[in-house]
Amino acid sequence: MLRLAIQKSGRLSDDSAALLRAAGIVFGNGSSRLLRSAASNFPLELLFLRDDDIPEYVEEGVVDVGIVGENVVLEKGKSVQTIERLGFGRCRLSLALPKNAPFQDLRDLQGKRIATSYVRILQQFLDRNGIQADIHEISGAVEITPSLGLADAICDLVSTGSTLLANGLREVATVLESEALLIATPALAPEKQDILDRLLFRLRANRNAKRHRYILLNAPNDRLETIAALIPGMKSPTVLPLAEPGWSSLHSVISEEVFWDVLEQLKAAGAEGILVAPLERMIV
């Protein structure tokens, strides 16, 4: 049995649970007083914890793996392995000043009072940039500290920036780009590593599917080579003859990142009847 910790409530909670359910894992949730749940169809036990506690639980082997924000992992500084970047929960840890405060570069922070919940990360950032500042550790409601005269600037997590604007602040520098990570205890037992590998197989199949689209099109045979080169797929496109002489059907997958550009090129190259569909799973 592999023990996995996810956030009980908060920014990553719903997405973490959705990630596991998309991998076909059936379990309860942590919305009530229940803090543990065993999957009914996979050797996995879930613990629903505060995100700040997850790195320590993983380091000490209380749980084997955990899903937590990169910002939390770096701030806690625990000895854990980063197994996978999960691609959700993206945010940034940013420095912000009152909107009318002058700022040209980081040197303007010299000697300033900066309020933050991320003392470790901020101190490392300031040290790298040769800035001496007075860091005030604040738990929650960091955005209000400049208006109360407690700080000249803040360093806090930002997603849309609307909270900063509502408190008369503006971003001036990004300290860290963060996303959800899958972390593990430094030395997993072989039998638990096997279960983790099975879990990773499922997670990666889902992620690969989200990043690609299935494409089906018709092409004149004299343009097959040109069109096939535009959609190579995992190895090469599947080519099937149509009932109409001189035409073939091509089946392949295409990356979401280049999807629209390639569609334009396919049309220009003579492709017709182009159909595009989402993928459920993609094993590479």
Per the CB < 8 A criterion, the answer to whether 48 and 6 are in contact is yes
Fold equal for 2-89+179-208 and 91-177: yes
What pLDDT shows up at residue 233? 77
Q: What share of the chain in percent tops pLDDT 90?
A: 77
The CATH number of the domain covering residues in 2-89+179-208: 3.40.190.10
pLDDT tens per residue, range 144-194: 999 999 999 999 999 888 889 889 999 999 999 999 999 999 889 999 999
Binned at pLDDT 50, 70 and 90, residue 11 comes out as confident
- What average pLDDT does this structure show over 244-255? 93
pLDDT value at 219 more than 90: yes
Tokens of 123: 């101190």
- What average pLDDT does this structure show over 94-117? 95
What pLDDT shows up at residue 178? 96
Tokens of 262: 């390639």
In the chain, the N- to C-terminal Cα span, in Å, equals 27
What pLDDT shows up at residue 95? 96
Q: Which of 274, 270, 262, 172 is nearest to 225 (CA)?
A: 270
Residue type at 13? S
pLDDT tens per residue, range 68-82: 999 999 999 999 999
What pLDDT shows up at residue 31? 53
Binned at pLDDT 50, 70 and 90, residue 65 comes out as very high
The CATH number of the domain covering residues in 91-177: 3.40.190.10
Domain ranges for the chain, please list them.
2-89+179-208, 91-177, 211-278
What pLDDT shows up at residue 161? 81
The CATH number of the domain covering residues in 211-278: 3.30.70.120
What pLDDT shows up at residue 187? 86
pLDDT tens per residue, range 106-158: 999 999 999 999 999 999 999 999 999 999 999 888 999 999 999 999 999 99
pLDDT value at 284 more than 80: no
Average the pLDDT over each of 15-19, 57-61, 207-211, 215-219 and give the range with the smallest value.
207-211
Per the CB < 8 A criterion, the answer to whether 253 and 233 are in contact is yes
The alpha-carbon radius of gyration of the chain (Å, integer) is 25
> CB within 8 A of 7, min separation 6: which ones?
13, 16, 48, 49, 50, 51, 54, 67, 68
